[in-house]
Amino acid sequence: MRILRFDESNKFQEMKSIMDDVNDILVELKDEGISMMIEPSNDIRVKMASIQDKHFYIKFLSLPNKADVYPLIFEKIHMLIDYLDERGFYTEISVKTYSANSYECTKSIEELEDDAKYIHYKLNYIILRFSHNEVSEYNESNKFQEMKSILQDIKSICVELADENLIMDLEPSINNEIRIKMATIRDDMFYLHFIDSLSKKQELYPLIIEKIHMISEYLLDKGYNTKLKVKYYFKYPDGKSSRMIESDMTSYDLEELYNKHFDLSSRYKENGIFTISTLKLDFDRINKEVYESLPNQRSVDQLERVMKISAKTDIGNRISDMNKQGANIHYIQNPIDNGIESREDYDKHNKSFRPSWNLRHLLSPFANEKKKKKKKK
């Protein structure tokens, strides 16, 4: 009974009318043999789509061999965007190209048309996601303007890489105000992805690393951490064995990795000893409410010197052993005597960390570290 009432509601009838119009717009593409998923596809899903935006989308499939129809697809996407904008919906376009190293990324229809001008450009699929357009005066807020300024500065830092014909996807797009608004709320919508495979751009590695340093330091001042997701290929000097490694690291880790293997590449005069396949920078907002941190080694050394000087007068050394006399005391100890972990200790220990150690059937995440066996009582 509830469903029947809902079917007669204004929202349901409006959504059903929209879906009829959307299908009419796309009928020409169907005649061209373009495979697509259009949701919502039945009355129950129409009901859900009128309540939740995630149920309203179109996915164009099997596009690699349909390059001759791309202009018609783009024309229909323009029509959908204009039509749904009048109906109060915002259109987000996600694209995946037909290559081994491609990620799904968000583009405007204008960017998509520009990319398609390249002769070898092939699309795997296109997804259009529709959401209610509820843009308020948020665009005028400080957060919005700050994010827009950050994006412009990152683009300026990367201009030299763009001049070298490196294709990069900076999200959110400077021209997309909805995405900028979302990025001020959600960190996962703020990233820089090098779309090109960098395996044949080895001469640009020093410049790329320099720019990543600049972006990392700039964003640190703005309250963001930078995390690198790197997939690289390493071939051993014997030329017979090689491996592909995927790892999370900082810009300084990447520089150290490059310097370490650059000597090998130069010594053996062999192209491909160390090559980067994919590179993505994720930007996370620093939680300013957390004030805890590891001390520097210099601070730890200073504490130890003070403790040594004040050992005879320190009250902690003059009282009786509370482990033996205190009631319900689990332990009492001086942290300086037992050892304080410094930032340098932490970094040194983490250098031996082995990613995916459990998947490789190793017993410990750290190299040269054995599990201590419990002594039988």
Whether 275 and 178 share a structural domain: yes
Please tell me whether residue 236 adopts helix, strand or coil conformation.
coil
Whether 82 and 154 share a structural domain: no
Among candidate residues 75, 103, 134, the one where a domain is terminated:
134
Evaluate whether 291 touches 214 at the Cβ level (below 8 Å).
no
Whether 255 and 342 share a structural domain: no
Among candidate residues 134, 163, 187, the one where a domain is terminated:
134
Whether 164 and 97 share a structural domain: no
Strands laid side by side in the 57-61 sheet? 35-39, 57-61, 123-132, 89-97, 105-107
What is the number of domains present in the chain? Answer: 3
Average pLDDT over residues 92-97: 84
Which pLDDT band, with edges at 50, 70 and 90, does 140 fall under?
A: very low
Whether 129 and 165 share a structural domain: no
366 secondary structure, DSSP code? B
pLDDT value, residue 265: 56
pLDDT in tens, 326-336: 666 666 677 77
pLDDT(134) > 60 = no
Domain that holds residue 73: 1-134
Task: Residue 154: count other Cβ atoms within 10 Å of its Cβ.
Answer: 21
pLDDT value, residue 94: 86
Highest mean pLDDT (candidates 96-100, 190-194, 273-277, 350-354): 190-194
Distance, CA of 299 to CA of 305 (rounded, Å): 10
Evaluate whether 15 touches 46 at the Cβ level (below 8 Å).
yes
Whether 268 and 243 share a structural domain: yes
Classify each residue of 327-362 as buried b or exposed e, where b means 16 or more C-beta atoms within 10 Å of its C-beta. eeeeeeeeeeeeeeebeeeeeeeeeeeeeeeeeeee
Classify each residue of 49-74 as buried b or exposed e, where b means 16 or more C-beta atoms within 10 Å of its C-beta. bbeeeebbbbebeebeebeebbeebb
pTM of the model: 0.45
**Inside any domain, residue 73:** yes
- The two tokens of residue 261 are 């293997």
Whether 236 and 346 share a structural domain: no
pLDDT in tens, 108-121: 888 888 877 775 66
**Inside any domain, residue 298:** no
Query: Cα angle vertex 281, ends 156, 127, to 5°?
Result: 95
Whether 287 and 325 share a structural domain: no
Whether 109 and 167 share a structural domain: no
Which pLDDT band, with edges at 50, 70 and 90, does 136 fall under?
A: very low
Task: Residue 168: count other Cβ atoms within 10 Å of its Cβ.
Answer: 16
**Inside any domain, residue 311:** no
